[in-house]
Amino acid sequence: MDRKRAVVGSGLVLLGLVAALGGCTFFDQGPIADFQVKPVVVYAGETVTLDAGLSSGAAGIVSYEWSTSDNQSLVGQQVTTAFADPGTHTVTLVVQDANGNVDEAEQDIVAYLRSGTVLLDEDFSDDDMSLARWVLDPTWASVQDAEIDYISGDGGYALYVHSPQSRWHRRYYAVDLPPLRVGQWIEISCRIMVLRNQDGYTYMFAPGRKDQSELAGSLPSFVFSNAEDGCSIHEPTVLGTDTRHPIGYLPDVYRWHTYRFAFSQDSYVFDIDEIEWFSGALNVSLNEGARWSIVLGEESLEESCSVYYDDIRVVIKE
């Protein structure tokens, strides 16, 4: 057999092998799905471009189908959309080539809120309707221990809590805190005026309770108790206890003071009337965002005491 016939014979064997394996499908690896998201930083409610131009396939891609975790369905190599709510959204791209082969790619996209966004601005101006918004913790309290009161000439309407007996009166309002991008923080503030601070009296401002029945997973809170250590910052632990940090602040009676927590991704600062009193690290993450409850309340152990709460605000800042 000469060299020419040997080469031809080898080619016939190769073609036979290809036919046995199903023709050209042996060489068809199918498409590869991939996409870009623009802009890099995504904000809730603003336009997002999904571009599948990075996808490839030897047979040519004939369809691009998109789906999102908030139930959107889109078609096309390049599409635009928006995510109404802040948080993590999953985007899935499925591509198909001319031979019917498919591939998919998936990305998690975090949608943030713009700095300056106000999540809560409670001034109790609609009277008893606002009282209904602040859910009563029935564990110890009585409905009669709080009301919306009008303060003439200073502040207007406010939540007036006055427990005449040895029990807590606590009210809470659920807020969905968004994920924070680098450089942002969440500011949660409240004006408080104490009318009495006799023996056995306690009041609190908890800007982020994860669960009303336990402390684990919650954000730090402010507590004043003249039955214990005066003013202190309470940092919840993963075990459901708390670490208390006394601060040298003594509240005036019959005078409004603004209490403010500022939470970044991994730390926080607490101040009163723009004077910093404490700062520390967080043992819970605000990177993803979640639902917490703002809790207001007071407890009278020995004597009748009372406190006003007003102008509760939650704002994204940087």
User: Residue 45 has what pLDDT?
Assistant: 97
pLDDT tier at 36 (50, 70, 90 boundaries)?
A: very high
Same domain? For 268 and 161 the reply is: yes
User: Residue 16 has what pLDDT?
Assistant: 42
Tell me the C-alpha distance between 266 and 280, whole Å: 9
pLDDT tier at 6 (50, 70, 90 boundaries)?
A: very low
Same domain? For 195 and 219 the reply is: yes
Q: In what side-by-side order are the strands of the sheet with 87-97?
A: 42-43, 102-112, 87-97, 61-68, 73-75
Which secondary structure element, helix H or strand E, spans residue 15, and what is its range?
helix 3-20
Can you give the residue range of the structural domain that contains 67?
A: 27-112
User: Residue 15 has what pLDDT?
Assistant: 36
CA nearest to 209, candidates 245, 178, 234: 234
Q: Which 8-state DSSP code applies to residue 82?
A: -
Tell me the C-alpha distance between 108 and 71, whole Å: 14
- For the chain, how many structural domains are there in total? 2
Same domain? For 173 and 272 the reply is: yes
Of residues 198 and 88, more confidently modeled: 88
* 16 within domain boundaries: no
CATH number at residue 92: 2.60.40.10
User: Residue 231 has what pLDDT?
Assistant: 93
**Mean pLDDT along residues 23-35:** 74
User: Residue 300 has what pLDDT?
Assistant: 67
What's the mean per-residue pLDDT of the chain?
87
CATH number at residue 174: 2.60.120.200
pLDDT tens per residue, range 106-122: 999 999 999 999 999 99
* 125: alpha, beta or left? (left if phi > 0; alpha if psi -120 to 50): alpha
Paired sense of beta strands 61-68 and 36-38, if any: unpaired
* 9 within domain boundaries: no
Share of the chain above pLDDT 90, in %: 64
Same domain? For 95 and 131 the reply is: no
Tokens 């009163």 appear where?
272
Same domain? For 99 and 163 the reply is: no
* 219 within domain boundaries: yes
Reply yes or no on whether the pLDDT at 241 is more than 80. Answer: yes
Same domain? For 96 and 126 the reply is: no
Tokens 């669960």 appear where?
211
Same domain? For 104 and 79 the reply is: yes
Tell me the C-alpha distance between 230 and 273, whole Å: 18
Last residue of a domain, one of 63, 85, 112: 112
Prediction pTM value? 0.84
Most confident region among 21-30, 63-72, 199-208 by mean pLDDT: 63-72
Of residues 314 and 136, more confidently modeled: 314
Peptide bond into 86 cis (omega under 30): no
pLDDT tens per residue, range 40-80: 999 999 999 999 999 999 999 999 999 999 999 999 999 99
Same domain? For 217 and 260 the reply is: yes
